[in-house]
Amino acid sequence: MSLIIRERYSLKNCNTFGVDVTARWYAEARNDAEVGAALDAARQRGAELLVIGGGSNLLLTGDQDAFVLRMASQGRHLLGEVGGRLLVEAEAGEAWHSFVLWTLEQGLAGLENLSLIPGTVGAAPMQNIGAYGVEVKDVLHSVVALDRQTGELREFAAGECDFAYRDSRFKRESGRWLILRVRFALAREAELHLGYGPVRLRLLEEGIDEPTPLDVSRVICAIRAEKLPDPQVLGNAGSFFKNPVVGAASAERLREHWPELVCYPAGAGEVKLAAGWLIERAGWKGYRDGDAGVHALQALVLVNYGRASGGQLLALARRIQADIRARFGVELEIEPVVR
């Protein structure tokens, strides 16, 4: 099937905030050939190519005078053992949570803590998604990406991806690399991570002393569903701000004023502060200005109650950033890509 290109296409259903803006051109690529055709089409039109997945880490503040390409490729495969682990490959357009559940059905462990994160497989390494003490970098084997400058394919080993907290070389060089598929090295024997957040407590409350990866996934899904709004019901992009990382001395000074400060060791003399605690402590939790607001149950989540524009949501985020800077002397960094 040849690439279908649409003009003046509404992106409302292509971003989880549900912001209604249009793309000058829009197409969906289901295989490598269609990706190549999209690159050619954008080049012929002299248009910027904007690649999106599930739109769950995206804030659109206006119409996009660009060629928007949604990665819609499907496929997941067991590739065999490498270093005592099973290598699993998934196409970039696969829904992340569905892929996680599929790996668990295969009896594989490693992705259970990342259950119910919205988005696609291709976006996961870009953002180095993480939750409950696990990041994609911990289980990623390699990434196959297209060099948009040369048209050549390149395979990046995990160590070549330059992963950092919610960051990677693919995010920093987003105009060059287009992720086509991702490979993960997963374990047949569970190596569970239960020390972060309320996961272990919830398991114990259910009388589970020796949990399986499926148990961990189920509990994490329940916890996330209780705290985070469903984008199908209330527009949002999950955590809107990164947890700021500060020096240990700065964290100690903050604790002198706010002994209840929520923070975690981040290694190398640094401390990760809970951005949600800072925002809630500043009184923003549940705040609403028109249809732009802060979720009533999770201060880290900005929400669209219906007709908020991307500009209104961004203006609210800027107000929160300024307030946190003034109160705590801490800079909050926006997590979604703002366009």
Looking at the domain assignment, is residue 318 inside a domain? yes
Same domain for 89 and 60: no
Q: Where is the domain boundary, 148, 163, 186?
A: 186
Q: Where is the domain boundary, 155, 186, 217?
A: 186
Same domain for 332 and 271: yes
Over range 5-11, report the average pLDDT.
98
Looking at the domain assignment, is residue 240 inside a domain? yes
Q: Which of 112, 239, 281, 339 is catalytic?
A: 239
Contacts of 225 (CB under 8 A, 6+ apart): 116
Looking at the domain assignment, is residue 219 inside a domain? no
| Contact (Cβ atoms closer than 8 angstroms) between residue 188 and residue 108 | yes
Looking at the domain assignment, is residue 269 inside a domain? yes
Domains identified in the chain, total number: 3
Over range 83-102, report the average pLDDT.
97
Same domain for 181 and 80: yes
Beta bridge partners of 187: 109
Please choose, from the candidates 273, 314, 338, 335, the residue with its C-alpha nearest in 3D space to the C-alpha of residue 128.
335
Same domain for 61 and 157: no
Over range 67-78, report the average pLDDT.
98
Beta bridge partners of 58: 337
CATH number at residue 170: 3.30.465.10
Q: Determine whether 335 is an active site residue.
A: yes
Which pLDDT score is estimated for 1? 59
Task: Dump pLDDT digits (tens) for 308-339.
Answer: 999 999 999 999 999 999 999 999 999 999 99
Q: What type of residue sits at position 202?
A: R
Please choose, from the candidates 253, 250, 246, the residue with its C-alpha nearest in 3D space to the C-alpha of residue 267.
246
Looking at the domain assignment, is residue 254 inside a domain? yes
Q: Which of 70, 85, 148, 166 is catalytic?
A: 166
Q: Determine whether 28 is an active site residue.
A: no
Looking at the domain assignment, is residue 96 inside a domain? yes
Which pLDDT score is estimated for 196? 78
Same domain for 100 and 56: no
| Contact (Cβ atoms closer than 8 angstroms) between residue 329 and residue 40 | no
Q: Which of 73, 85, 335, 339 is catalytic?
A: 335
Looking at the domain assignment, is residue 225 inside a domain? no
Q: Which domain holds residue 59?
A: 6-71
Looking at the domain assignment, is residue 216 inside a domain? no
Tokens of 261: 């400060």
Q: What gap in Å lies between CA 48 and CA 335, rounded to an integer?
A: 22
Same domain for 30 and 113: no
Task: Dump pLDDT digits (tens) for 258-293.
Answer: 999 999 899 889 999 999 999 999 999 999 999 999
CATH number at residue 50: 3.30.43.10
Q: Determine whether 135 is an active site residue.
A: no
Same domain for 107 and 13: no
Task: Dump pLDDT digits (tens) for 212-223.
Answer: 999 999 999 999
